[in-house]
Structure 1
Amino acid sequence: MEKYLAIAEILAYVRHNRTPLTVLPPDAVPHDEADGYRVQDALHNLLSPDFGLQVGYKIGCTSAVMQQYLGISHPCAGGLYMGGVHTAGTSLRYNDYVHVGVECEIAVQFANDLMPSGEPFTADDVATAIDAYHPAIEIVDDRYADWRSMDAPTLIADDFFAAGCVLGVPVARGKAPDLLSVIGRAVVNGTEVGRGNGADVLGHPHHALAWLANHLAARGKILRAGDFVLTGSLVQTAWLNAGDHVRMELLGLGSVEVDFKS
């Protein structure tokens, strides 16, 4: 619809020009979260020519620390684009973002499509479709003059802070540890800035994946073979300065690093 496209065009302009969004015009504010996801769909169509095809999803607000930090008590989803998926050890330009931050995550890649059966997806359903897990850094971008003034529908419309990810070496599902025992450490310039574990993600990261699968099914979409999903941060977002070095360590899954050069 024209309304959703008009909002998406504003958000795409911010993304392309790295101009912090102050406030959406009153007639361009998503009415509710369902409206926000409709705008997000329109935004994906606008961004794909420059950012690459959508290759998966991020799930936000799956841990208590992030729900409290953002003041949102339930998971929210955003898109991942091919151009924003990086390999471990890369260097990224700090000035390619408005205000870049990082989060410590367990990522998955799916081996098979998850086709709806008429019953809600469970954690066991999604587990059988997983190919591998990755230690991951989610890259988030505060694209707002004051993100605290933005409501959940607007954040959802704008991919819920998503700006990409850095993926470490994959660990095959059959060789992965019990995710409940995975301890994640966020380290910036050699200093630990956060710590959490797999149980912090809705009790188990597979619960977050089941939420996403059901959320997509309700919108006529599915998780497909090859899709990457960031299951949610184990720690509170760490906002960065130019030149910062980031390392995320996930016990049993490995580690992943990235530099944000000035």
Structure 2
Amino acid sequence: MALDAETITAIADELAVAERDRTMVPLLTARHPGMTVEDAYAVQNEWRRRGIAAGRRPVGRKIGLTSKVMQVATGITEPDYGAIFADAVFDNGSLIEHGRFSNVRIEVELAFVLAEPLEGPHATVFDVLRATDYVIPALEILSSRIELQGRTIVDTISDNAAFGGLLYGGNPMRTGDLDLRWVSALLYRNETIEESGVAAAVLNHPATGVAWLANKLARHGDRLEAGEIVLAGSFTRPMWVERGDIVLADYGPMGTLSCRFV
């Protein structure tokens, strides 16, 4: 780590104010040129620690930047992860307050719900499939507290991987009941298809992202626990949404998800 504990705390304070006031923080890497990925996860962990101390309940993790389409969209070429709290999880069909988030975008994903703990450093796709209770369609709401132009992986990780919220529902399915690589989805905004994709775009198999996460967490002395929700990464480009927009994702046999931003 290049930054001291005082600087880590100061950055976490900045991001907390930005989240509260729906404002944007200037690029961290422009102001702290030597900031590393480990520094960024230290900032994120401080944000997560404060959330837990304030009574928020952690329920899982998100993985980001796992597909080529997302890496091209952001200019960042390696995955990252962030934390999910229960108060950021929405039911299918929800009315969601648009003003709760900043730079609001939607991503199409699969969520893995674990039946058993999953621990690295040598977790594989097959370990993920064995540990998973079921897979279910999910939409991730992106919310960026750091300015978008010129972001690096360090900025994104510090910003809790731009996580804002999670909407999930549809038909939960066992991993052996379908070929996860060929799960596809159509993403609509106000009755118009804006994006479509196939889950194999996530590192060739969406479970690969979950294995990557377990192995990454092991380096930080952590693991995935039974019951946790893991967002495996988007297989479409992020779609911008405005107040009043109706969003619907059609996953075929896995069902549909919808919400309206109010």
With normalisation by structure 1, the TM-score equals 0.92
Instruction: Provide closer, same or farther for how the CA distance between residues 171 and 185 of structure 1 changes in structure 2, counting only shifts above 3 A.
Output: same
TM-aligned CA deviation for residue 221 of structure 1: 0.4
1:66 match:
70
Moved over 6 A (4+): none
2:122 match:
120
2:243 match:
242
Deviations 1:152-192 (A, max 9, x none): 11210111110110011351315642111111111111111
Tell me, yes or no, if structure 1 residue 21 matches structure 2 residue 25.
yes
Tell me, yes or no, if structure 1 residue 107 matches structure 2 residue 111.
yes
Deviations 1:100-153 (A, max 9, x none): 11111111110111244xx61110011100011111110101334x31222211
1:156 match:
157
- Is the Cα–Cα contact under 8 Å of residues 119 and 214 in structure 2 kept in the other structure? no
Superposed, 1:23-38 pairs within 5 Å as: 23-24=27-28, 31-38=35-42
2:145 match:
143
Superposed, 1:168-207 pairs within 5 Å as: 168-173=169-174, 176-207=177-208
- Is the Cα–Cα contact under 8 Å of residues 188 and 244 in structure 1 kept in the other structure? yes
Segments of 5+ residues of structure 2 without an aligned counterpart are none
> d(CA) in 1 for partners of 2:86 and 2:124?
28
Classify the secondary structure of the residue corresponding to 1:95.
Answer: helix
> d(CA) in 1 for partners of 2:69 and 2:127?
27
Classify the secondary structure of the residue corresponding to 2:170.
Answer: coil
> d(CA) in 2 for partners of 1:156 and 1:30?
15
> d(CA) in 1 for partners of 2:155 and 2:55?
21
Instruction: Provide closer, same or farther for how the CA distance between residues 186 and 30 of structure 1 changes in structure 2, counting only shifts above 3 A.
Output: farther
> d(CA) in 1 for partners of 2:44 and 2:34?
10
Segments of 5+ residues of structure 1 without an aligned counterpart are none
Superposed, 1:196-235 pairs within 5 Å as: 196-235=197-236
> d(CA) in 2 for partners of 1:39 and 1:244?
33
- Is the Cα–Cα contact under 8 Å of residues 126 and 206 in structure 1 kept in the other structure? yes
> d(CA) in 2 for partners of 1:26 and 1:208?
29
Classify the secondary structure of the residue corresponding to 1:2.
Answer: helix
| Number of residues of Structure 1 aligned to a counterpart in Structure 2 | 258
> d(CA) in 2 for partners of 1:53 and 1:6?
24
- Is the Cα–Cα contact under 8 Å of residues 53 and 82 in structure 1 kept in the other structure? yes
Classify the secondary structure of the residue corresponding to 1:242.
Answer: coil
Match of 1:254, as an amino acid? Answer: G
Tell me, yes or no, if structure 1 residue 130 matches structure 2 residue 132.
yes
Instruction: Provide closer, same or farther for how the CA distance between residues 44 and 91 of structure 1 changes in structure 2, counting only shifts above 3 A.
Output: same
